[in-house]
Amino acid sequence: MSSRRDFIAQVAALGLLAPGGAAARAASLICVYGNDYAPWCWGEGSSAYGLAPALLAEFFGKVLGMHSAHQVLPWKRAQAEVEGGRADVLCTVPTPERRRYCHASQEPMYATGARLFVSRASRWRGELAQVRERSALHARKAVFASYLGGAWLGERVPREQIRFAPDLEHCIKLLASGLADAMLDNRLVLHHKIAHMGLQEQIDEGQFDLDVIAYHLLLARRSRNAGLIERIDAELPVFRTSAIYADIVRRATR
C-alpha cells in the first residue's frame, strides 16, 4: 500500500470492534481511546479506528489470546471510564495521575516524536521556528494549545502558558486564528489534522522533534484482569520486534 489513506482503511478493518452491546459485555478487556487523534486513534459512530486499536487488537487477540472490545470516547471521558473501572485499558503516556489508577507497562507499545507547530499569526513565530530543544520553550511567554485530558504537555511547559480547548480540532483552530502561539504534540497526528482541516497556510510545522511521546499500555487497577500486567510486560517486548508489528507501524508512518 502506497498511501496513509490505504493504511487507514486496512487498519480500520483490523482494529474494528463494536464497543457496546454483546461484544463489549463478552469481552475480557475493554480498551478505550480518544475520538479525534487520527491516525493514532479516532472514531466513527461506535467503532474504533487507527494504529492504536490495530496494535492492541493484534497484541491482546493474537499474542495473549484474549477477546478485546474497542471503544472511542472524548479523551477525558475515556480516562474517567478506566479510572472508574468501567473499562480496562488505555494506550497513552503514563503520567503520575494516570499511574494512580493504572498499572503501566514497562515498555511502550509505540513511541514517536513530538514536534512544535507554530501559528503564523504569533508574535513569537520567528523565535519559535528556531527552537531545537524543548528546554528553550521555558524562556518564552508563548501560549501553547492543549486539549482536555491531555496531561503530557503540562509536564513540559508552565501550566499558566497552556490554553485548553475541548478537543484537538479546537486546538488547531486556536493556532490558525492566533489565539494560541504553538502546540507541541505527536507530529504525525498534528500533521494529519492540520492537512485535513486545510490550514497548512496558517500554521508552520517545525523541523525538529523536541521530545519523544511514549504510549504505554495502562491497565486499570480496578480491572478484574489487573494481574495481566505481568504477562503484558513479558510479551510486549517480543511483540514489538515481530514482523506484524513492524508491518502495521511501517504503513502508518511512511
pLDDT for the residue 26: 52
> Which ranges in 65-224 belong to alpha helices (H)?
75-83, 96-101, 125-129, 168-177, 187-197
More confident residue, 32 or 4: 32
pLDDT cut 90: percent of the chain above it: 71
What number is the average pLDDT over the span 70-89? 95
Does the structure show a pLDDT above 60 at 45? no
SS3 (DSSP) at 233: helix
Q: E-assigned strands of the chain? A: 29-34, 36-37, 41-44, 47-49, 68-73, 89-92, 102-119, 144-147, 162-165, 182-186, 203-220
Least trusted range by pLDDT, from 67-81, 138-152, 180-194, 228-242: 138-152
Does the structure show a pLDDT above 80 at 152? no
How many whole angstroms separate alpha carbon 128 and alpha carbon 132? 9
Q: Can you tell me which residue has the cell 490558525?
A: 176
How many whole angstroms separate alpha carbon 62 and alpha carbon 103? 22
Does the structure show a pLDDT above 70 at 15? no
pLDDT for the residue 141: 84
Provide the mean pLDDT of the chain. Answer: 88
202, 175 in Cβ contact below 8 A? yes
pLDDT cut 70: percent of the chain above it: 87
How many whole angstroms separate alpha carbon 114 and alpha carbon 27? 34
Does the structure show a pLDDT above 80 at 7? no
pLDDT for the residue 251: 81
Does the structure show a pLDDT above 60 at 4? no
Instruction: Give pLDDT tens digits for 160-195.
Output: 899 999 999 999 999 999 999 999 999 999 999 999
